[in-house]
Structure 1
């Protein structure tokens, strides 16, 4: 049985197949693997640890002379993602109906979903199609975790004042540190670099499965068609924007598109903002389920979108992994 060959034929298969299998298990029988000890630690709760180890291995592959490239790519993606999300959110506020909705969507849900990205999904996709400096760019992208950038957007709109304490520099350092340690070790010893390079790809299906064990397909039903629409828009608008900007800089455009997702922690953003400003309390429940639906929709759709882009590049005679170095 040639499982690897089959997975390799599926766009992003080494990541998307384990993720979808786990999400199906979590939706139908959520307690099947939640039996404690090693099983639950690896297959349910292991995503953060496995991603941290993946980033450590990625850091070991970074040459110190290329650190600036990683920072540049991360900052570019972070900026593009925020501009698109904030811009669409501003448009939604401007044309919202009497109930404060745009196409059935709460503007706060749009901003929360589009300015926040699924780091695990990005790492998995870039692990297959990108280079070491693309993986290391995640250290900057971690800045869009949580409500921080959503609050900045709303503050700029004049919708609410800036609220302190929504982003911790400690959180940023905690993401960056595994990459830095790996980078130091890899640059001190080329044999250690080669050793850790072998382990990075093996981790992808494991943390993808653990990510899937935190996805419930019922979120799509609760969020309704509007939530699915938000997920589709997040992939197409923010993913395409990242693709085009990276292409303009002659970087691998597939990596740019890999930021077109919504992170699971974005589900809490509407409630956090409503707590900071009661003006948003009216649609907080609707916004929460819409963001949840976007999380699931982007987790399924983005790998398929990336696969489409890769095939498109191949038809033009380019390979996503090698022709944008």
Structure 2
């Protein structure tokens, strides 16, 4: 059976399929895997540990040796992505209803989805339309993997009085530390970076399944439409934001638009945020589903959006060379 090949053909399949499979199981047979010992520890209660290990492996991929224009491009995309996601998230908090949702979408889902980007999709687009320094910019863009930038935004909102329960420094460090440890190890030893890099991909379906065991179909139904809308907004707002920023600096704007996606890794962010601060626990499940829906939506929509922008530039004779 070609299980992996099938999952690879589905946008975000390694994350979304195990999550939805577990959610189905949790809805119709919630006690089937809740039998104690290793089975329950791995498939039901293992999300926090698996996510922590995933964050360590992801941190090891952050290369601190990038320089020059690559750093400038990476910093620009990172800043634009975060500013748009944080701004829209703040607006959602200000206009949220009594249930803590804005137009049915959890504000933490908005921030998580819009501040994280699909690195594989970025590299695929840049490989076709960008240059070597565009590819090298990814070493800095790796910083938007995981909950770090989402936590920064929520901490700022807490200081401003818009979010209940500002993170304590201990809670912040406890979530950030696995990333830092991985980053240190990866930059000390390239072979160790490669070794840990293999682990990050392998962990995704396992922690996705464990996350799914905390979700039921009611949450999926509630979050699905909002998640698709979130994905569309992510492509348009952050994609166009990157496009216009790169155009302003006379860089290839197609590369800027390539950041208009949601990372599969971002699906774990609501759970990580809720683990750091219990005040977000009530919306963690619906936020997880909405981010998952945004991941799939952006993976499908962004290439179409890029194709539209490329044709538009070609008609005007302004498509930059990738040489």
Shorter chain as denominator, the TM-score bin is 0.5 to 0.7
Aligned length: 243
Take 1:25 and 1:243, find their aligned partners in 2: how far apart are those partners? Answer: 24
Take 1:294 and 1:105, find their aligned partners in 2: how far apart are those partners? Answer: 11
Offset from partner CA, 1:15-48 (integer Å, 9 cap, x none):
xxx9997118969xx89xxxxxxxxxxxxxxxx9
1:118 aligns with 2:118: yes
1:23 aligns with 2:10: yes
1:311 Cα offset (Å): 0.6
1:150 is matched with: 150
Q: Does the CA contact (< 8 Å) of 1:112 and 1:147 recur in 2?
A: yes
2:262 is matched with: 262
1:169 aligns with 2:156: no
Q: Does the CA contact (< 8 Å) of 1:134 and 1:255 recur in 2?
A: yes
| Pairs within 5 Å for 1:172-187 | 172=183
Take 2:262 and 2:244, find their aligned partners in 1: how far apart are those partners? Answer: 19
1:275 Cα offset (Å): 1.3
Q: Does the CA contact (< 8 Å) of 1:139 and 1:175 recur in 2?
A: no
Q: Does the CA contact (< 8 Å) of 1:20 and 1:300 recur in 2?
A: no
1:283 Cα offset (Å): 1.0
2:95 is matched with: 95
Take 2:310 and 2:249, find their aligned partners in 1: how far apart are those partners? Answer: 18
2:70 is matched with: 70
Take 2:154 and 2:144, find their aligned partners in 1: how far apart are those partners? Answer: 14
1:317 Cα offset (Å): 0.6
1:230 aligns with 2:230: yes
2:293 is matched with: 293
Offset from partner CA, 1:90-120 (integer Å, 9 cap, x none):
0000011111111110001001101111111
1:268 Cα offset (Å): 0.9
Across the aligned residues of Structure 1 and Structure 2, the Cα RMSD in angstroms comes to: 3.6
Q: Does the CA contact (< 8 Å) of 2:12 and 2:299 recur in 1?
A: no
Take 2:149 and 2:79, find their aligned partners in 1: how far apart are those partners? Answer: 10
1:222 Cα offset (Å): 7.4
Q: Does the CA contact (< 8 Å) of 1:242 and 1:253 recur in 2?
A: yes
Offset from partner CA, 1:182-216 (integer Å, 9 cap, x none):
xxxxxxxxxxxxxxxxxxxxxxxxxxxxx9xxx9x
Take 1:260 and 1:95, find their aligned partners in 2: how far apart are those partners? Answer: 24
Q: Does the CA contact (< 8 Å) of 2:313 and 2:319 recur in 1?
A: yes
Take 1:26 and 1:72, find their aligned partners in 2: how far apart are those partners? Answer: 32
Take 1:25 and 1:268, find their aligned partners in 2: how far apart are those partners? Answer: 13
Q: Does the CA contact (< 8 Å) of 2:12 and 2:295 recur in 1?
A: no
Take 1:76 and 1:86, find their aligned partners in 2: how far apart are those partners? Answer: 15
1:241 is matched with: 241
For structure 1, list consecutive stretches of 5 or more residues without a partner in the other structure.
1-17, 32-47, 182-210
Take 2:283 and 2:173, find their aligned partners in 1: how far apart are those partners? Answer: 23
State TM-score, norm by structure 2.
0.66
1:225 Cα offset (Å): 1.2
For structure 2, list consecutive stretches of 5 or more residues without a partner in the other structure.
19-53, 194-203, 209-216
1:208 is matched with: none
State TM-score, norm by structure 1.
0.66
| Pairs within 5 Å for 1:124-135 | 124-135=124-135
Instruction: Tell me: CA distance 1:174–1:256, structure 2 relative to 1, closer, same or farther (3 Å).
Output: farther
